[in-house]
């Protein structure tokens, strides 16, 4: 028995006391004597609908029928029947008198008649949406008639409401009664409240109150007639005024007309069963109905069907009404992805649909699902998220990225699949601006340090590019610790030409972060070497960068000359067009297959031109997958350093002491274990260039020891003559204080770090250099070695300088093109 709760109203029209909902403005229309209000829950602020029905006394027959409707709505549950939330009955003051009012609280809905006007659909789109709505109401009526043996009694336009997702739902259960077919001879009314039904909606047998005939008819006879009335009101756009108007079929679609006529058959037993209407009507066979039906049973479909469906869905969505797609299809699709029933291609469709939403709605309806998907173990979904991160990355808050997104994305840095590592790397360009300094220094840079020695050359190249692009998001201490080591010691020594070019460009776009001492002693010497690089693109960029940094040095000199004390605050200059702008990505290593020669042995220069031959050392495992380098296409780059820098312990060590701090004794992942430069004399520029270009021509040779100890400077004079005699001029004398350079042989950790990509490290020995060093000298040993403290032997007029010192035992095979008569 329905329990009535009678409360005293605390203020006229302001709502019930202790009623957990706030009653808002009413809609213009509602079924019967009910009033349909907008409402809000006081608990969580969620929207609801509130239906109210008033009477002069508790025994008012409208209130009695209303109580029947409340009871039926509470007990009957179906996806296409209005969802019941709460009900109460109270006395409401109406002037000096008191009125008894029933309140029903349901999910938020609005009358169908008002929603149709709001959507303002036409043509095919209108017919498709009406077909979907009629399909839903037919299922609700079929459920009542065939499954529950109930008769609604008043199916019409007013008894249908529309949810926020544009679903149609049946309500107005005041007349609802059981179908009494057992007592066929009884003449008592089967529908106790049939007087609430308008005459225009009654079939002939109900108008005549022929209850015996009604009981002999099938359970759907009365409601099938009501479905016909609903169809007429939908397509005519007007409320049914009299029964005779149902004969006017001009507005009824031709594909629906046969079913419409069978629903309104004058013989009750021959009226169309709503279940047959659902299964057989041609009108329901359209793209919208089929799409929604497929998505509602998505978890029952196999992977082949899902893939085929989601690949067609973007084109189908373009043809459907935009509001229906956003309010109906989008929520269903998001739910399917969130709970795992949808495949990865559905994510592309979700993002496309989401792009049609305003920014605030996108953050509410789409972003929560995307954030949850980052935790998915499905590699295809993860790859799809990373591919399209530029479409939603800007909408993610910094806190969400730092706490929820990045921890899951970071697993892709160590993924065994090259494509996932590459996509993860590129996604950092969008996510890095939203990461905290602690995450950048303590986590991101450690992953990038590993990727700079990745087996795939494209990933190595793109890692350098990324470091150049996110340098302005690092603090000053991190930049000093990371950038120069990452670009000069790793990128410029890479065997892959695009990686070397990327290193040059990265140094150029980050020029404003370097002090003059670093430019003169660490950057320029390494860039100038590459002006002799076998790759033309590398040479071009090396010359451009050299000009840029020399211009910085010239400006520094001019400021020193004029006595400017602020020289250390501004060393950057405007970039040249060739190196300007954000660094562009290298081509995908998955889609672009290069030639082995791109990062393998480089052909030697013509010996007749007195050019020094050079060979790149190919990294094992990189011959099969090579990328082409895509030059920068951007036009500007923000070189401004952050306003303030915060010190943080990020695992990169202390730069001031020249020491290496590692979190673990075996951790060699950072850039701090790269050889720093100590206060020792630097070699001459010409010696650096010549020594750096001497690589094996035919096969790798055993590296010649580099006698670079500072306490052996005196003994180096006689050994330099055989090395430089044939080609070198006398080196210039240097009287300036030496730069802060440390011999490359002083750090044993370098072998482990650069074993995969760098040239062989020189072996320390006390033996003098041999003439064979012209072909087998270490690529970078000369840069880190101290300069000779004595004069080099000048060029001989003939014989090209064998030297007067007896020849020492030679290491490895030699290729010395000389004759006994001329020394050539």
Are residues 134 and 103 part of one domain? no
Residue 162's pLDDT band, with cuts at 50, 70 and 90, is very high
Q: Are residues 124 and 208 in the same domain?
A: yes
Q: Quick one: 93 and 125 in the same domain?
A: no
Q: Rounded mean pLDDT of 157-172?
A: 94
79: domain CATH number is 3.30.200.20
Res. 550: pLDDT tops 90? yes
Q: Which pLDDT value is given to residue 672?
A: 54
Please state the domain count of the chain.
Answer: 2
CA distances from 359 to 394, 413, 708 (A): 10, 30, 63
Q: How confident is the model at residue 564 (pLDDT cuts 50, 70, 90)?
A: low
Q: Do residue 144 and residue 234 come from a single domain?
A: yes
Choosing from 256, 283, 310, the residue where a domain stops is 283
Percentage of residues of the chain with pLDDT beyond 90: 50
Structural domain for 172, as ranges:
111-283
Q: Is 256 helix (H, G, I), strand (E, B) or coil?
A: coil
Q: Is the pLDDT of residue 22 over 80?
A: yes
Q: What is the pLDDT of residue 190?
A: 81
Query: How much is the pLDDT for 606?
Result: 33
Quote the pLDDT of residue 185: 55
Backbone φ and ψ for 24, nearest 5 degrees, come out as -105, -155
Contacting residues for 688 by C-beta, under 8 A, at least 6 apart: 525, 528, 529, 782, 783
Global pTM value: 0.65
Point out the least confidently predicted range of 460-464, 477-481, 718-722: 718-722
Q: How far apart are CA 272 and CA 284, in angstroms?
A: 15
Token pair 């759907």 is found at 220
pLDDT mean across residues, the chain: 74
Residue 180 pLDDT = 79
Half-sphere exposure of 475 (CA within 13 A, CB side): 17
Verify that 263 and 220 share a domain, yes or no: yes
Least confident of 75-89, 392-406, 567-581: 567-581
Do 76 and 166 share a domain, yes or no? no
- How deeply is 487 buried, as exposed, middle or buried, from its count of CB atoms within 10 A (0-12, 13-18, 19+)? buried
Q: What is the pLDDT of residues 637-669, one digit of tens each?
A: 333 333 333 333 343 333 333 333 333 333 444
pLDDT band at 338 (very low <50, low <70, confident <90, very high): confident
113-138 pLDDT, tens digit per residue, is 999 999 988 888 899 999 999 999 99
* 92 shares a domain with 236: no
Dihedral (CA of 819, 822, 823, 824) sign: negative
| 13 and 146 fall within a common domain | no
Question: 195 near 154, Cβ under 8 Å?
Answer: no
Residue 619 has pLDDT above 50, yes or no: no
From CA 190, how far away is CA 289, in angstroms rounded?
36
In a shared domain, residues 244 and 219: yes
The pLDDT of residue 35 is above 90: yes
Give 697's pLDDT tier (boundaries 50, 70, 90).
very low
809: its two tokens: 């035992």
| Residue of 696 and 258 predicted with greater confidence | 258
Cα gap 291→298, rounded to integer Å: 10
Give the CATH number of the domain where residue 176 resides.
Answer: 1.10.510.10
Q: Give the start-end residues of each E strand in 62-218.
A: 84-94, 97-106, 109-111, 150-151, 160-163, 168-170, 177-178
What is the per-residue pLDDT across 745-762, written as a single tens digit (0 to 9) for each? Answer: 334 443 333 334 444 444
DSSP 514-526: S-HHHIIIIIHHH
State the average pLDDT over residues 796-820: 45
The burial class, CB within 10 Å (0-12 / 13-18 / 19+), for 569 is: exposed
């Amino acid at each position: 028995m329905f329990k009535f709760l009678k409360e005293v109203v605390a203020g006229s029209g302001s709502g019930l006391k202790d009623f957990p909902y706030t009653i808002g403005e009413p809609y213009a229309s509602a079924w019967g004597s009910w009033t349909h209000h907008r409402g809000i829950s006081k608990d969580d602020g969620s929207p609801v609908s509130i239906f109210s029905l008033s009477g002069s006394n508790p025994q008012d027959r409208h209130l009695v029928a209303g109580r029947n409707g409340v009871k039926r709505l509470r007990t009957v549950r179906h996806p296409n029947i209005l969802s019941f939330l709460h009900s109460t009955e109270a006395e409401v003051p109406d002037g000096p008198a008191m009125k008894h009012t029933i309140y029903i609280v349901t999910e938020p809905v609005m009358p169908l008649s008002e929603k149709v006007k709001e959507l303002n659909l036409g043509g095919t789109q209108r017919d498709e949406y009406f077909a979907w709505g009629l399909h839903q109401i037919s299922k609700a009526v079929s459920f009542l008639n065939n499954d529950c043996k109930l008769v609604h009694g008043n199916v019409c336009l007013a008894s249908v409401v529309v949810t926020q997702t544009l679903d149609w739902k049946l309500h107005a259960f005041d007349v609802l009664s059981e179908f009494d077919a057992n007592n066929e001879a009884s003449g008592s009314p089967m529908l106790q409240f049939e007087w609430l039904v308008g005459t225009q909606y009654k079939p002939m047998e109900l108008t005549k109150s022929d209850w015996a005939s009604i009981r002999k008819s099938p359970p759907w006879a009365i409601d099938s007639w009501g479905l016909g009335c609903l169809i007429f009101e939908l397509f005519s756009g007007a409320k049914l005024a009299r029964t005779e108007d149902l004969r006017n079929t001009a507005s009824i679609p031709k594909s629906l007309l046969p079913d419409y006529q069978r629903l309104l058959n004058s013989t009750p037993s021959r009226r169309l069963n709503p279940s047959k209407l659902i299964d057989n009507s041609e009108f329901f066979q359209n793209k919208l109905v089929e799409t929604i039906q497929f998505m509602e049973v998505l978890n029952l479909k196999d992977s082949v069907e899902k893939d085929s469906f989601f690949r067609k869905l973007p084109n189908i969505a373009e043809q459907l009404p935009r509001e229906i797609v956003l309010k109906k299809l989008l929520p269903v699709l998001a739910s399917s992805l969130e709970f795992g029933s949808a495949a990865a291609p559905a994510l592309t469709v979700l993002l496309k649909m989401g792009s049609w939403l305003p920014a605030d709605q996108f953050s509410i309806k789409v972003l929560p699902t995307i954030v949850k998907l980052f935790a998915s173990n499905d590699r295809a979904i993860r790859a799809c998220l990373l591919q399209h991160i530029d479409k939603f990355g800007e909408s993610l808050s910094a806190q969400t990225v730092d706490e929820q997104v990045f921890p899951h994305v970071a697993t892709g840095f160590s993924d065994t699949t090259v494509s996932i590592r590459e996509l993860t790397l590129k996604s950092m360009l969008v996510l890095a601006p939203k990461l905290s300094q602690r995450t950048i220094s303590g986590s991101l840079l450690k992953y990038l340090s590993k990727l700079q020695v990745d087996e795939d050359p494209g990933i190595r190249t793109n890692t350098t590019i990324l470091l150049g692009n996110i340098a302005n998001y690092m603090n000053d201490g991190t930049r000093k610790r990371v950038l120069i080591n990452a670009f000069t010691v790793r990128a410029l020594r890479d065997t892959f030409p695009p990686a070397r070019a990327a290193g040059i460009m990265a140094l150029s776009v980050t020029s404003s972060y370097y002090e003059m001492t670093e430019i003169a002693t660490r950057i320029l010497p390494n860039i100038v070497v590459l002006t002799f690089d076998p790759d033309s693109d590398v040479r071009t960029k090396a010359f451009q960068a050299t000009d840029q940094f020399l211009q910085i040095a010239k400006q520094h000199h001019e400021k020193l000359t004029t006595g400017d004390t602020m020289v250390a605050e501004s060393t950057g200059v405007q970039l040249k067009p060739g190196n300007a702008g954000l660094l562009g990505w290298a081509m995908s290593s998955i889609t672009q297959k290069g030639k082995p020669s791109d990062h393998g042995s480089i052909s030697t220069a013509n010996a007749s031109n007195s050019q020094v031959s050079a060979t790149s050392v190919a990294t094992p495992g990189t011959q099969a997958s090579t990328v082409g380098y895509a030059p920068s296409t951007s036009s500007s780059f923000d070189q401004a350093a952050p306003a303030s820098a915060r010190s943080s312990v990020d695992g990169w060590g202390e730069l001031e002491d020249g020491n290496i701090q590692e979190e673990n004794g075996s951790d060699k992942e950072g850039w701090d274990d790269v050889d720093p430069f100590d206060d020792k004399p630097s070699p001459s520029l010409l010696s650096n260039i010549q020594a750096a270009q001497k690589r094996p021509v035919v096969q790798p040779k055993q590296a010649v020891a580099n006698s670079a100890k500072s306490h052996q400077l005196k003994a180096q004079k006689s050994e330099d003559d055989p090395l430089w005699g044939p080609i070198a001029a006398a080196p210039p004398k240097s009287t300036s204080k030496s730069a802060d350079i440390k011999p490359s042989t002083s750090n044993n950790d370098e072998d482990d770090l650069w074993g995969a990509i760098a040239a062989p490290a020189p072996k320390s020995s006390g033996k003098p250099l041999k003439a064979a060093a012209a072909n087998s000298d270490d690529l970078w040993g000369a840069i880190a070695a101290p300069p000779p403290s004595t004069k080099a032997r000048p060029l001989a007029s003939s014989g090209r300088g064998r030297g007067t010192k007896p020849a020492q035992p030679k290491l490895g095979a030699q290729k010395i093109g000389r004759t006994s008569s001329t020394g050539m």
